[in-house]
Chain A
Amino acid sequence: MEPKDYIAARVAQEILPGTLVNLGIGLPSLVAGYIPADAGVFFQAENGVIGMGARPPEGMEDPDLTDAGGGFITAVPGAAAMDSAMSFGLIRGGHVDVTVLGGLQVDGQGRLANWMVPGKMVPGMGGAMDLVGGAKRVIVAMTHTARGAPKIVGTCTLPLTSERPVDLIVTEMGVFAPGPGGLGIVELAPGITLEALRAVTGAPLAA
């Protein structure tokens, strides 16, 4: 199993039946594939739909029905469409139960940086700042390192997405709960030792 698939499958275990969930683009979007269709989970795409479904068959795409990455989607029974003010009202207003986002850096207290690398890559924050600030539970799904460098760091050197700390970090090395006392270990992935984790983790581990 590729790290990203392992991460997506593990995040899916955190998604409770009957919840409203927003998945970021990239790795987080893979989580949907691990949620059973009968779980009653509704996925929001912040460009204006609750109840997005899988990509339609080739040639049957509706140009007016896309996800937040611009890809074609379907709408499941019970779906609802809305404008951007309502979509972000749902996000900022605390109506979204869980958001799963990618990360460039997260510190041991859970502060996330995921919207720019000054001077190099400035995609913009899109909806990330509203999602991290507004969703009831924020899960970061990311690989543990980038080109060998830790992504869980003592202090974020990249601009923060929000001052609100995230609730959970899932990587291919385990599941972590950041907090004031440092990075708490919820579980280690099979075969991962504490020493191996420490070697590629920049934040202090909670006692």
Chain B
Amino acid sequence: MKSALKTEAAAAMIPDGATLMIGGFMAVGTPHRLIDAIVAAGPRDLTIIANDSAMPGKGIGKLVSAGLVARMVVSHIGLNPETQAEMNTGRIAVDLVPQGTLVERIRAGGVGLGGILTPTGLGTLVAEGKRIIEVAGKPYLLEEPLRADFALIAARRSDYVGNLEYFLTAQNFNPLMAMAADTVIAEPEAIVPVGVIPPDAVRTPGAIVTHILERPA
């Protein structure tokens, strides 16, 4: 059994310069209460690893608007003109990573692999400076694992021990990120008694969840 973490206390744990993995795809499956609390607390120079930078005023876009971000590792910033402008002026360093490569680098970081070999990106700008390794006569890019200080995870439900369940397209990067950070903070929409989420429906075992955010007000 874990105790519920206050939203402000969660945000206060995040120091300047921290690396955060944040779940979500265009702000769907994103931990919105945690992001609001981080904006209020205002840690600086954050590195954000996420699928995208959402839109201005939504999800991860709020962290960009608040000027808290120094670096992003993302696959897409096309719906957030603020991120593009900050990248062009050099205020935010943006590493663009193909989406399938990004999720596998996160998975590798979470499951103890030294990287992945992927054909994606061969012959493009993505391949610059990377090792090419041949396996059975076919070339692959070596892509290195990603880890973070914190993973901020959105789930539909958590039980009292932190077993997490996700719904539909709100899963996206969440279960992978929950494996790849030193501290895992889960923000469920609802917290239910142990047993309500059947073992077969648990996608992230509570054993790897460090903190469960308090229920929504």
Which residues of A pack against B, CB within 8 Å? 45-49, 62-66, 68-70, 75, 81-85, 88-89, 91-92, 121-130, 133-134, 159-163
Q: Contacting chain A: which of B4-12, B21-29, B194-202?
A: B21-29
Known contacts A64-B168, A124-B76, A70 near B173 by CB under 8 Å: no
User: Closest residue of chain B to A83, judged by CB?
Assistant: B171
- Residue numbers in A under 8 Å from B173 (CB-CB): 83-84
13 CB contacts below 8 A, A to B, read A64-B29, A64-B168, A66-B169, A88-B104, A122-B87, A124-B75, A126-B78, A127-B99, A128-B98, A130-B101, A134-B120, A160-B123, A162-B124
**SS class of chain A's interface: helix, strand, loop or mixed?**
loop
A-B contact count (CB 8 A): 139
- Residue numbers in A under 8 Å from B120 (CB-CB): 92, 129-130, 133-134, 162
Once the chains bind, are B98 and A129 in contact (CB under 8 Å)? yes
- Residue numbers in B under 8 Å from A84 (CB-CB): 25, 51, 99, 103, 171-173, 176
Known contacts A85-B104, A126-B99, A127-B99, A69 near B26 by CB under 8 Å: yes
- Extra contacts, 6 of them, besides A84-B103, A92-B119, A129-B101 (Cβ < 8 A), are A70-B27, A83-B176, A84-B25, A88-B99, A130-B120, A159-B125
- The list of the 5 closest CB pairs from A to B, nearest first, reads A123-B78, A163-B123, A88-B100, A70-B26, A130-B100
B77 CB–A CB distance under 8 Å: yes
- Residue numbers in A under 8 Å from B76 (CB-CB): 123-126
| Alpha-carbon gap, A33 to B175, bound state (A) | 33
| Alpha-carbon gap, A66 to B26, bound state (A) | 9
- Residue numbers in A under 8 Å from B171 (CB-CB): 48, 81-84
Once the chains bind, are B100 and A64 in contact (CB under 8 Å)? no
Once the chains bind, are B124 and A85 in contact (CB under 8 Å)? no
B33 CB–A CB distance under 8 Å: no
Known contacts A84-B51, A124-B74, A46 near B99 by CB under 8 Å: yes
A104 CB → nearest B CB, Å = 13
User: Closest residue of chain A to B172, judged by CB?
Assistant: A84
Once the chains bind, are A83 and B172 in contact (CB under 8 Å)? yes
User: Closest residue of chain A to B102, judged by CB?
Assistant: A84
Once the chains bind, are B168 and A49 in contact (CB under 8 Å)? yes
B174 CB–A CB distance under 8 Å: yes
Q: Which of B16-75 contact A (CB under 8 A)?
A: 25-29, 51-52, 55, 74-75
Q: Which of B77-134 contact A (CB under 8 A)?
A: 77-79, 84, 87, 96, 98-101, 103-104, 107, 118-126
Once the chains bind, are A127 and B168 in contact (CB under 8 Å)? no
Q: Which of B26, B119, B124 has the most A CB atoms < 10 Å from its CB?
A: B124
- Residue numbers in B under 8 Å from A160 (CB-CB): 123-124
| Alpha-carbon gap, A62 to B168, bound state (A) | 9
A125 CB → nearest B CB, Å = 5
A44 CB → nearest B CB, Å = 11
B210 CB → nearest A CB, Å = 20
A155 CB → nearest B CB, Å = 14
- Residue numbers in B under 8 Å from A64 (CB-CB): 28-29, 156, 167-170
A58 CB → nearest B CB, Å = 19
Once the chains bind, are B98 and A125 in contact (CB under 8 Å)? yes
| Alpha-carbon gap, A81 to B168, bound state (A) | 5
B111 CB → nearest A CB, Å = 10
A11 CB → nearest B CB, Å = 22
B2 CB → nearest A CB, Å = 23
Once the chains bind, are A48 and B25 in contact (CB under 8 Å)? yes
Contact check: which of A81, A128, A161 meets B169 at CB < 8 Å? A81
Q: Which of A45, A65, A88, A91 has the most B CB atoms < 10 Å from its CB?
A: A88
